[in-house]
Amino acid sequence: MEKQPQALRLCALTLICITLSSLLHHVEAQNQKGFISLDCGLSPNEPPYNDPSTGLTYSTDDGFVQSGKTGKIQKEFEAIFSKPSLKLRYFPDGVRNCYTVNVTEGTNYLIKAVFVYGNYDGLANDPSFDLYLGPNVWSTVDMNGRTNGTIEEIIHRTISKSLQVCLVKTGTSNPFINTLELRPLKNNTYNTQSGSLKYFFRYYFSTSDRTIRYPNDVHDRKWYPFFDSKEWTEVTTDLNVNASNGYEPPQIVMASASTPISTFWPWNFTWSLPSSTTQFYVYLHFAEIQTLKPLDTREFKVTMNGKLAYERALELFTVIDFPQLETNQDDVVAIKGIQNTYGLTRVTWNGDPCVPKQFLWDGLNCNSLDISTPPLITSLNLSSSQLTGIIAPGINDLIHLQELDLSNNNLTGGVPEFLAGMKSLLVINLSGNNLNGTVPQAILQKKGLKLNLEGNSDLICLGGLCVNKTGHGGSKKPNVVVPAVASVAFLVVLGSALAFFLVFKKKKNANIEVSDDRTTRSSEPAIMTKNKRFTYSEVVTMTNNFERVLGKGGFGMVYHGTVSGTEQVAVKMLSHSSSQGYKEFKAEVELLLRVHHKNLVGLVGYCDEGENLALIYEYMANGDLREHMSGKRGGSILNWETRLKIVVESAQGLEYLHNGCKPPMVHRDVKTTNILLNEHFQAKLADFGLSRSFPIEGETHVSTVVAGTPGYLDPEYYRTNWLNEKSDVYSFGIVLLEIITNQPVINQSREKPHIAEWVGLMLTKGDIKNIMDPNLYGDYDSGSVWRAVELAMSCLNPSSARRPTMSQVVIEINECLAYENSRGGTSHNMNSQSSIEVSMNFDIGITPGPR
C-alpha cells in the first residue's frame, strides 16, 4: 500500500511575514457569545457560575437531556480537576442517551466532551462506551488507564438547527459525562472537502509547561507545550504579535517558537497516524517574532515525507466521515411534538428517531434504504401506550406515514378529518378507545384505506354504529370499515382498494411477504422438533435480562448472551411491531435445524413460548460486512484480498443451500448486512426468515409472492413471481458490486441511481479506476478486479437462465483470489492497524541574509 495515500489533504494558511512595526496591537476583551458550557450533573436549582481557572460560565445540563442520574467524583480526586469536572451525569437506563442542543445551522463548531471517572460509583471499574454525534459514531471512550480523564474534541459543521450528542452503552459499564462544550468558529476556517475534523494534537513550541485555553484563546482551543531540547532552540518575544487572521491563534502561543540549534540544519517534526489510509489536515501558524535587518527576509520551504508541500498551516486533525444523514427534520419535529402532546417517556425515544437502525425508536418504522437520503417515518404504533386526550393534530405533519396504530388507549373526541388527507396513509387502527361523534365521510370513502374502529361504541358511521353486534350479549366483532353501500359498486371499490394495497406493499416494503393480513400464529403448525428449545426464563438469564444490545433488524432487537456461562450467543427477539411474524420465525428455525455448513450462521436454539419468540445464534464478533466496508466499526477499510475471501465464503454458503440441501433452498435476502463475520473474519450467511425450498424433485421454480430488499431484488422474480436459485445469484451480483465499488446500492444523486446501471455506465469508459473503491488506493491486481466485475455483471443478466450457478461463481471468485495472491510486493494483512509515520521538514538551507 502506498505510504502517501491520495486521501492526504492539506489546507492552506497564509505564511505571515511581519515587520517590527506591525507587531504591536491592543488585546481586546473576550466574550463568550455563542458559547455553550454545560456542567453535566449541576443541579437545576444551582445558578450558573464562573470557572475560577478560565472565567468561563457554566450552567446546568437540565433541559438539554431527559435522562440520567447525577454523581460526583470521589474526594481524593477533587484536587486534580477544575470545578466543572467535579460532577457528572451517568446513564444506568437505556442503551442510548442523548443531549440535544440548539445551534446555528451551517456553522462550524468546536465541540468538546470531558470525561473524568474519579471512581464516582465506588466500583473502581473504568467504564467504556461509544460517543455519537447524531446518528454517527464519533469515538469510543475508554477510561482504562486514564486517571486524569480524557477529552473528545471535534470540529463539525452543523446541518440543522439542533445537534445531538449521544452516549451509547456497549458493555456492562454505564456511560457518563462531566462537561459538554460548544464553541462557534468562523466559517472560513477549518473547512474540509468532506467529513469533520477529529482532534489529534495541538502544540505550541515552548519550554513552558503551561496549557493555554480561554481567555487567551478566544475560541477556547487547548494548546499544549512541546519542545525538543536536543534539536531546537527557543525564540521568544515580549511584544504582542499580530496574528489577526481568521484562525486567531493566541498571543502567548505566537510569542514563542523553536528554531534548529544549528542554522544549517533543517527543523524536523514527526508524528504517527493510526494507519496508512488515515486522512488528515495539518494547520501551521507562522509569525515573525525576531527583528530582521532592513533588507532581510526569512524564507524556507516545507516538505512532508520528502515531498515539497506548498500549502501549510499548525494543529493536526484526522478526518472522520459521518455518512448517515439524520431523519428528515420535519418528521423529527412532528414526532417530538406527538411525544410532548402525550407526555411519552419511552426509554428508546432518545436521539434520532430512525437512525442508526439499532436505536430505532420503539413503535416506529422508517424508510432508510439509502444513507444519502434523510430517513422518513412511515409507521407509528402507539398501541397500549395509555394515551389520553384527542388524536394529536401533529400526526398530520408525518406526511409520509403509511400505517398508524393508536389502538387500546383512552383517546376521546372525534376522528379527525385530516387523516383522510394524508396521501400515504393506508392503515389506521383506532380500535379500543373512547372516540365519539360521526366518522368523516372523507375517511370512510378513501380508497385503499384499511380502517379499524372496533371498540368505540359512541362512534357513528353513515347513520349507524360503526361496530356490528352479535346476538350473544352484544359482544363486538372486529370490523374493518369501508363505505357501507350495498351494491355491486361497493364490491368493485373494495376490490380496487385491496388491489391497490397489495401493489403498493409489493413495491414499497422490504423484507416482508405481500399479504393483506399478517399471518397469524394460530394458523401455523407448531415447530416439529423440540431439540435446542429454551424457555423464556432461560433466555432472560442468558441475556442477563437483555442487558447488552447488539443491534436491531426487521425481526426485532438482538441481544448479547451466554449459554452455560461460556458460549457467546446472539439472541434475536421477535418484536410485536415487527413486519415479520411467526411464519418467518418458524421458517428460519426449521431450516437452521436441518442445515449445517461452516459458512451459514449456526442456530444454537430457539424459544417458542406464548408471545415470546427468540432465535439464539452463534455469536459473530465482527458484525456484518456492510459495517466494515463503510468503516463504521473502526480500523482500516478492508483490503481487496480480504473482501474476496469474504465473498468466496459467502458464495460457498449459498452454493450449499442451492446444491447441498435436500430439498434445495433459496435464501431470498442476500445482502451485505446479512453476511456476518466472526472473530477470525470468517464469513457466514445469516437471516433465513424469507428462505424457501423446492419441495418437488425436478421443480425449476416456485411461484410465490415477492419478498426481499429493494435494490437486491431480482427483476425477473419481481416481474413473474417465479422464484429459483438464480434469484440469489442476482442478489449476490449486487453484493459483488458493493465490495468492488464500496458504493450504496441505490443513490439518487448518481447519474444512474442503481449500482448495476451506474457500473455499466462507468464500464463504457473502459477504466477500472472509475468504479473501484478509492479507499484501496490502487492496492489490488487489476486482472483480479476485472474478473470480479465481469462475474458480477454476468450475475445481473436480466435473464435468469443466462446467469451462472453459485457453483460457477465460487470457482470464478477463487480465480480472482488466486490472481490477487500471485502479485508480489504488497501487504495482504486482513485489516491492518499499523501506524504510518509522517515527517515534516522545514529546510532552511542557509542563514537568512540580505537580498
Binding residues for ATP: 572
Report which of 40, 29, 191 is spatially closest to residue 112, judged by C-alpha positions: 40
Is residue 517 among the annotated active site residues? no
Q: Give the C-alpha separation, 409 to 845, whole Å.
A: 81
| Phi, psi (rounded to 5 degrees) for 654 | -65, -40
Report which of 768, 611, 615, 791 is spatially closest to residue 686, judged by C-alpha positions: 615
- Dump strand ranges (E) for 241-295: 256-260, 267-273, 280-282
What does the block give as the cell for 133? Answer: 454525534
Q: Of the listed 217, 669, 714, 728, which one is catalytic?
A: 669
Bond into 663 cis (ω within 30): yes
The annotated binding site is made up of 572
Report which of 357, 365, 368, 379 is spatially closest to residue 328, judged by C-alpha positions: 368
The three-point CA angle 715-640-744 to 5° equals 40
Q: Are 598 and 549 in contact (CB under 8 A)?
A: no
Residues of the chain by 3-state class (helix, strand, coil), percent to 5: 20, 25, 50
* Residue with cell string 486514564: 146
Bond into 356 cis (ω within 30): yes
How far, rounded to the nearest angstrom, does the alpha carbon of residue 540 sit from its chain's CA centroid?
Answer: 28
Q: Give the C-alpha separation, 114 to 37, whole Å.
A: 11
| Phi, psi (rounded to 5 degrees) for 825 | 80, 15
Work out whether the CA dihedral 698, 701, 704, 710 comes out positive or negative. Answer: positive
Residue 515, SS3? coil
Report CA-CA distances (Å) from 679 to 128, 674, 732.
Answer: 20, 16, 23
Let me know if 735 is exposed, middle or buried by CB neighbors in 10 A (0-12, 13-18, 19+): buried
Sheet holding 108-115, edge to edge: 49-50, 57-60, 36-39, 179-184, 108-115, 150-157, 196-201, 316-320, 280-282
Residues with catalytic function = 669
